[in-house]
């Protein structure tokens, strides 16, 4: 069954890229004769024209973190693999990839402005301010959740890896491998900047070196052992520094190398799916209500699988960093639309890892463990059963590394947002904006118990997808004012808005229950704020569509 499922998904993604992706790209009339912001404002720091394959790896790594791995596994455990597979397949082609391509092009046509600035230009200053606040709150939730899970991973390995047998300290291995991975990225950035070797030569040297540091991390796993709070502070400190570092020094090379880790995970997953001969143990459908406060299929299936089907965070990456590196407009199709389809297949592989594990093996294990075990079994098809332990470790380390990569990107984007919101264009303003963006999660770190990230996941997924709907609303208004078709952005806006607003209402309701936890009450307050901000923005967008005004300047 797995080969049939995987083959169907790959064929669907191929035709989605070639047919629907090309259709959407044609609507934007991409023109390589037009100078992009990266070429007009090349400053060697934020604006850097970048080769498309190099940029694809960086962009893919930035958008494909733990979301497309944890979300499908959690949703499949609740509702079965078939609803999860259908939402990933349909969502990624007609909603997620359209959102990514659209926000990337809209940013480029607005001189690489963020999606919040695009909304401000199209809907007015109040809408722009509301969008900035919404984005920043969503980013804070990303940083809080992912800092906590990464710190826990560095302490004891993924906390869900208990029960697996290792001959080394799994948390120390992840910490050492991650630190050396970042150092390797810095070296690659310096080599690229000052030596300028051929890309194939850099790839031939640094990609194997990335695998080498993973192996070396297993050998030096006991050198660094800290508590979760200490690791959390160090991670946030790293994010502070990394978000102020020129993109050529860290973000670009780290993203490029991280992309190859994802490529390896994709390759191993494909081999396992087609040639592993694994049986499917998970039921295709388990019911419409899994129980609990977030157990109803509508809307929680959709917001649990945010990344992998549709993610507003991608729009922040597209308009925050990627739009400043696109060298030609035609690159938007493979980078924007194509990378999202690749993430969709990452989600399908993650889904397959839970499908092949029996209910007895699954008992008491979480998403990180399940992904590590499943991906390890896929890799063992190639490298043999005797290397299964290392393969499982690689899967778990990859999971943690993807999370870690997202953190400094989110902090950098948070800096951009605050600088836009308050007009802090100076170096000092960047320092203050970064300190605030990293400081608020630090308060959560001290206030919440280690491992609390799961309690924030549903609201994280909801805010993430609602951000996608708001971004698409801004793009839709822009398209209408340009006299272009816009139904392909309006339809996803309406659907995702209904899903996410329903989710916010249900989470507010859960916060009012007598037995609600402190985290649920905090989530309820934040859900109310997000509902109010989104309602205001959607009202302004609907009014602009129904009563078109003059076309504002776009640059």
Instruction: Establish if 551 belongs to a structural domain.
Output: no
Q: Which of 99, 103, 98 is nearest to 16 (CA)?
A: 98
The CB density around residue 267, as the number of other CB atoms within 10 Å, is: 13
CB 472 within 8 A of CB 492: yes
Q: How many CB atoms lie within 10 A of CB 555?
A: 11
Do 170 and 158 form a contact (C-beta atoms < 8 A)?
yes
Is 555 inside a domain boundary? Answer: no
Tell me, yes or no, whether 330 lies in a domain. yes
Query: Could you give the number of structural domains in the chain?
Result: 1
**pLDDT per residue as tens digits for the range 67-88:** 788 889 989 999 999 999 999 9
What value, to the nearest 5°, has the Cα angle with vertex 225 and ends 223 and 226?
145
553 within domain boundaries: no
Low-confidence ranges of the chain (pLDDT < 50): 156-168, 555
pLDDT of residue 157: 47
Burial of 386 (0-12, 13-18, 19+ CB in 10 A): exposed
Q: Residue 130: what pLDDT? A: 94
Is 236 a domain residue? yes
pLDDT digits (tens, 9 = 90+) for 230-242: 777 888 888 888 8
Q: Is 513 left (phi over 0), alpha (psi -120 to 50) or beta?
A: beta
Alpha carbon distance 526, 288 (integer Å) = 27
458 lies in some domain:
yes
pLDDT of residue 221: 60
State residue 514's pLDDT score.
82
- Tell me the residue range of the domain where 388 lies: 2-546
Is 468 contained in some domain? yes
- CB count in 10 Å sphere of residue 138: 25
In a domain, 291, yes or no: yes
C-alpha–C-alpha distance, residues 521 and 498, integer Å = 23
Q: List, for residues 470-502, the tens digit of each pLDDT value.
A: 999 999 999 999 999 999 999 999 999 999 999
CB under 8 Å to 91, separation ≥6 — which residues?
A: 302, 305, 308, 309, 310, 344
Q: How far is CA 369 from CA 53, 69, 174, in A?
A: 32, 11, 14
Q: What CATH number is attached to the domain comprising 178?
A: 1.20.1740
What pLDDT is attached to residue 339? Answer: 95
Q: Is 157 exposed, middle or buried (0-12, 13-18, 19+ CB in 10 A)?
A: buried
- Reported as a single tens digit per residue, the pLDDT across 426-460 is 888 889 988 998 888 888 777 766 666 667 888 88
pLDDT for residue 539: 96
Q: How confident is the model at residue 152, as a pLDDT?
A: 64
Polymer length in residues for the chain: 555
């Amino acid at each position: 069954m797995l080969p049939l499922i995987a083959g169907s998904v790959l064929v669907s993604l191929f035709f989605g890229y070639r047919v629907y992706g090309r259709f959407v790209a044609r609507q934007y009339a991409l023109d390589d004769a037009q100078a992009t912001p990266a070429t007009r404002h090349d400053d060697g720091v934020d604006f850097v024209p970048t080769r498309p394959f190099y940029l694809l790896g960086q962009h893919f790594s930035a958008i494909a973190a733990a979301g497309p791995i944890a979300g499908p596994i959690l949703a499949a455990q609740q509702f079965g693999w078939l609803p999860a597979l259908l939402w990933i397949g349909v969502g990624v082609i007609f909603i997620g990839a359209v959102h990514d391509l659209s926000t990337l092009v809209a940013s480029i046509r607005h001189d690489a402005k963020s999606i919040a600035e695009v909304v401000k230009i199209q809907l007015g200053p109040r809408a722009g301010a509301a969008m900035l606040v919404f984005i920043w709150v969503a980013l804070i939730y990303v940083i809080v959740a992912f800092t906590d899970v990464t710190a826990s991973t560095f302490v004891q390995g993924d906390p869900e890896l208990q029960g697996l047998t290792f001959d080394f300290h799994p948390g120390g291995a992840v910490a050492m491998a991650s630190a050396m991975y970042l150092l390797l990225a810095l070296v690659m950035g310096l080599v690229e900047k000052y030596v300028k070797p051929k890309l194939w030569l850099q790839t031939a040297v640094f990609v194997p070196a990335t695998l080498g540091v993973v192996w070396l991390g297993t050998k030096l796993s006991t050198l660094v052992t800290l508590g979760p709070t200490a690791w959390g502070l160090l991670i946030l400190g790293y994010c502070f520094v990394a978000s102020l570092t020129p993109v050529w020094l860290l973000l670009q090379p780290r993203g490029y190398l991280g992309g190859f880790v994802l490529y390896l995970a994709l390759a191993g997953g494909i081999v396992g799916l087609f040639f592993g001969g694994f049986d499917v143990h998970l039921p295709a459908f388990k019911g419409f209500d899994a129980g609990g406060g977030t157990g109803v299929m509508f809307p929680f299936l959709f917001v649990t699988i945010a990344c992998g089907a549709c993610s507003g965070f991608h729009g922040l990456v597209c308009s925050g960093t990627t739009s400043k590196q696109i060298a030609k407009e035609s690159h938007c199709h493979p980078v924007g639309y194509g990378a999202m389809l690749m993430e969709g297949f990452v989600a399908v592989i993650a889904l397959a890892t839970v499908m092949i594990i029996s209910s007895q093996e699954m008992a008491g294990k979480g998403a990180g463990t399940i992904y590590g075990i499943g991906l390890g079994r896929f890799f063992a098809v190639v490298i043999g059963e005797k290397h299964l332990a290392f393969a499982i470790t690689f899967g778990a380390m990859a999971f943690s590394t993807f999370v870690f990569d997202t953190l400094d990107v989110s902090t950098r984007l948070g800096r951009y947002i605050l600088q836009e919101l308050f007009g802090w264009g100076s170096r000092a303003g960047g320092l203050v904006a970064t300190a605030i963006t990293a400081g608020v999660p630090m308060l959560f770190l001290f206030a919440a118990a280690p491992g609390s990230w799961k309690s924030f996941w549903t609201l994280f997924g909801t805010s993430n997808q609602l951000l996608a709907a708001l971004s698409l609303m801004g793009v839709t208004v822009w398209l209408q004012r340009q006299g272009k078709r816009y139904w392909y952005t309006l339809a996803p806006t309406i659907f995702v808005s209904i899903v996410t607003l329903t989710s916010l209402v249900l989470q507010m309701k859960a916060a009012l229950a007598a037995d609600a936890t402190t985290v649920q009450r905090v989530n309820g307050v934040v859900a109310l704020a997000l509902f109010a901000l989104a309602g205001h923005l959607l009202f302004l967008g609907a009014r602009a569509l129904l009563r078109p005004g003059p076309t504002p300047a776009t640059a």
